[in-house]
Structure 1
Amino acid sequence: MIRRLSVYPDRLRIALLVLNESQWSRSILEGVSRFAAEHGGWDFWLHPRAMKTQALMPADWKGEGIIARIADEHVRASLERHDMPTINVSWHSEQSRRFPKVIADPQGSGELAGNFFVQRGFQHFGYIGPPLCYNYRDPVQPAAERVIEEAGYSLRSFSPDPASPSSDYDYQRSRLVQWVRSLPKPIGVIAFSTVVAREIMLTCSAEGINVPNDVAVLAVEHDPLISQLSPMPISYIQQRPELVGYEAARELRRLISGGTPRDEPIAIAPEGIIEKPSTDTIFAADSMVQNAVAYIKQNADSAINVSDLTRFLDVSRRSLEDRFRKALNRTPAEEIRFARLLVLKDFLRQTNLSLAEISAKSGFSCENSTLRFFKRMTGMTPGEYRRNYDPIAASSRQSL
């Protein structure tokens, strides 16, 4: 009889039943790998697995623990045969002590998405979920819908053709066209993933509907490559899947060491919204306000102020402020502060630059000026924001 042999008999042997075709899933696996590397290395068993590829645990596999995406009863049944700690990283199924969960917080993501569009002044809202053929449980929509209804509005959902044979949206194109045409505009659309968001944008483009001024699009699950292949970069919720994987590995190690399974799942809260052109909507019907907002965005990395705006537009400060309030319900100064804050956040998320370097590149006079501005706008320091964005890597980054 052929017998399985461990490659590293002195290491923990861990099975990974996680999708590995998408950026999201690979990020989870990166987090698992990161934790394992910090704790002496693990001996991983894994199987190439796509959304429609069902990988079951071999009955003869021996090890100490499992991290799995338990999305259906067949996978669950194959795991039941192995009496060992198992962490579920899927939104599917309920929390149980047999298969405790470590997941990105779906309710938090839905609430964040709903609030994003409500706070931006939208009065119309849409939602498009995952393809039906995935049989995917969607806990995001109810949370987004609750926030939107509490604000006094309603959510219009796309209803896909249940007979569609695959996730290829060419089979849904006619329905997508009808849905997009029927939507009141301007509207903020929440898409379950970047793949789905891209299809909405392609449909809008083909129909001559402007993104983002008529239809603004926000993705829940992010895939940077798909965003690059879209008509424009797509805004998304920063869900931190790598941290999900890291915490799943930490929890599995605790259980292997004799810890008791938790009664509630570990839910990793989303970090925030990463804004890209797909939600860069200018509501103002006033052309002067539109020009002012465009000028602010083009110069957000400099020490721009309201006086610069009035000179550029050849208008009095009082007139400009009145027109801003009527068009956007905020002042030019508030618009400038918000735009400059986004510049700082991008530098903190995407670079390892020091606060002094960030200050110089974003038009602030000194570190203290940047620190005071950021703390006033967000309630946290730049260093706290950076650590919150990627707490795993905080210790290896340059401190602020």
Structure 2
Amino acid sequence: MAQSSDPANFKAMAPHRIALLFNANKVYDRQVIAGIGRYLNSTRVEWDLFMEEDFRSRMRDIRQFRGDGVIADFDDPQAPDALRNLHIPVVAVGSSYHDPAAYPAGLPYIATDNARIVRLAYDHLIEQGLPRFAFYSIPPHPGSRWAQEREHAFQAIVVDESVEGVVYQGQPTSAGGWGGAVEALVAWLTDLPKPIGIIATTDARARQLLQACVIGDIAVPEQVAIVGIDNDPMAQLLTRIPLTSVIQGAEEMGRTAAHLLHKMLHGVDCSDTRVLVPPVGINVQASSKYQPLRSPHVMRACHYIRQYGCLGIKTEQVADYVGVSRTVLEEHFKRELKQTVHQAILQYKLDTARQLIAESDASLADIAVRCGFTSLQYMHTVFRREYDCTPRQYLDLHRKPAPAR
């Protein structure tokens, strides 16, 4: 029997027992769960939440769950069968599908809009002026239907736009097969016509592309511009070249799922509800900021600077990497970019510092160290000279306030 939502009875109500069946070791699932949590924190809803202690989703005992409702990740191929005829409200969360018949029948379904995710990544690469495109996917598997949907969305776009577009599914990720998988990925990237923009089906796959480009000595983004999906902070930490990534509306998915379940717990029929949640936006970083360059020396030098610019490198080290004398490299830089190699390194450090000041909660002293400045005072001097303000003034103008609790 549905519990009363009358405020007068609020204190007397026992909380509903709700199972969250997600693999919270994945960033997308964590963001969905965060959206559920934010819904609970912004309302008077009281739920007793069950999740596995190791944050993994397990369906084996769900039929013995003596609870009131379930929100589950239906990208898990076990979920539809395990939760069928459960006799308590179930809200499904997962991938969107181009075929309406692929959605589970009789359940409310909250979906990430794969077509709009891929379109946002593609439009960004178009805006960078890239003439051809590729998609790095995942081999078909029952648990990765979302990846095939993104692959399908990409193929539909390139057909509709009449542009060059290829798909590479690569190999499954495993420790034993990693060496061969990387070699195959490097070979694929080497054979691609360039310049090219590549959309990876996840940030994890995008990170593999970045690693393969470093191994194959392929300049990012001058030869290969890369966009991932998920905006995963871990992927950013594990790459030297900052990764552009589409931000899914996963938190909104969680909020919407929690709202629907709350209504169902109070007797509202939501069985035919289907909600497509668009992406929030795109976090544009260095991996996709394509800049057409004629000089291969400048291209290689910029690729090196993006990897090591904040580690105190000097012009001589850049020239050694490119394989030319400092004088020759300086001539190419002045002709192509109208600046010296030193100025390019300094600009990279400043761009990184400005981004960290605006988007992180790190101290200015820590940012100075992370960006390769010899001291906070030196960073202060450079900011004054280049931007006519101090790092502190820049912080006050640009750092986003912490979200209210």
What range describes the TM-score normalised by the shorter chain of this pair? 0.5 to 0.7
Structure 2 CA distance, aligned partners of 1:81 and 1:262? Answer: 13
Deviation per residue, 1:278-327 (Å, 9 max, x gap): 1121114389x99xx9xxxxxxxxxxxxxxxxxxxxxxxxxxxxx99xxx
SS at match of 2:95: coil
Match in the other structure for 1:16: 20
Q: 1:227 to 1:54 in 2, by over 3 A?
A: same
Question: 1:108 aligned to 2:113?
Answer: no
Structure 1 CA distance, aligned partners of 2:25 and 2:76? Answer: 18
Aligned length, in residue pairs: 322
Structure 1 CA distance, aligned partners of 2:251 and 2:123? Answer: 24
Assess if the C-alpha contact under 8 Å between 1:124 and 1:154 holds in 2.
Answer: yes
TM-score where L is the length of structure 2: 0.66
SS at match of 2:217: coil
RMSD: 4.4
Q: 1:114 to 1:219 in 2, by over 3 A?
A: same
Alignment of 1:231-310 (within 5 A): 231-261=240-270, 263=272, 265-285=274-294
Which of 117, 125, 141 is the matching residue for 1:117? 125
Assess if the C-alpha contact under 8 Å between 1:131 and 1:160 holds in 2.
Answer: yes
Which of 130, 134, 139 is the matching residue for 1:126? 134
Structure 2 CA distance, aligned partners of 1:74 and 1:103? Answer: 17
Where structure 1 has 5 or more consecutive residues not aligned to the other structure, the ranges are 1-7, 294-322, 325-342, 352-360, 365-381
Q: 1:348 to 1:183 in 2, by over 3 A?
A: same
Q: 1:50 to 1:183 in 2, by over 3 A?
A: farther
Alignment of 1:174-213 (within 5 A): 174-213=183-222
Deviation at 1:92, TM superposition (A): 7.3
Structure 2 CA distance, aligned partners of 1:193 and 1:73? Answer: 19
Q: 1:161 to 1:198 in 2, by over 3 A?
A: closer
Assess if the C-alpha contact under 8 Å between 1:104 and 1:244 holds in 2.
Answer: yes
Deviation at 1:171, TM superposition (A): 4.3
Deviation at 1:257, TM superposition (A): 1.8
Deviation at 1:258, TM superposition (A): 1.9
Question: 1:154 aligned to 2:164?
Answer: yes
Q: 1:109 to 1:80 in 2, by over 3 A?
A: same
Deviation at 1:349, TM superposition (A): 7.4
Match in the other structure for 1:88: 92
Question: 1:77 aligned to 2:81?
Answer: yes
Where structure 2 has 5 or more consecutive residues not aligned to the other structure, the ranges are 1-11, 303-335, 338-352, 362-383, 389-397
Assess if the C-alpha contact under 8 Å between 1:125 and 1:189 holds in 2.
Answer: yes
Assess if the C-alpha contact under 8 Å between 2:107 and 2:271 holds in 1.
Answer: no
Question: 1:47 aligned to 2:52?
Answer: yes
Question: 1:35 aligned to 2:39?
Answer: yes
Q: 1:270 to 1:73 in 2, by over 3 A?
A: closer
Structure 2 CA distance, aligned partners of 1:349 and 1:108? Answer: 25
Question: 1:140 aligned to 2:150?
Answer: yes
SS at match of 1:89: strand
Q: 1:67 to 1:49 in 2, by over 3 A?
A: farther
Assess if the C-alpha contact under 8 Å between 1:133 and 1:165 holds in 2.
Answer: no
Deviation at 1:81, TM superposition (A): 4.1
Q: Identity of counterpart residues, as a percentage?
A: 22
Deviation at 1:264, TM superposition (A): 5.0
SS at match of 1:190: strand
Deviation per residue, 1:207-255 (Å, 9 max, x gap): 1111111111100123111221113111000113122111111111122
Assess if the C-alpha contact under 8 Å between 1:95 and 1:265 holds in 2.
Answer: no
Assess if the C-alpha contact under 8 Å between 1:54 and 1:75 holds in 2.
Answer: no
TM-score where L is the length of structure 1: 0.66
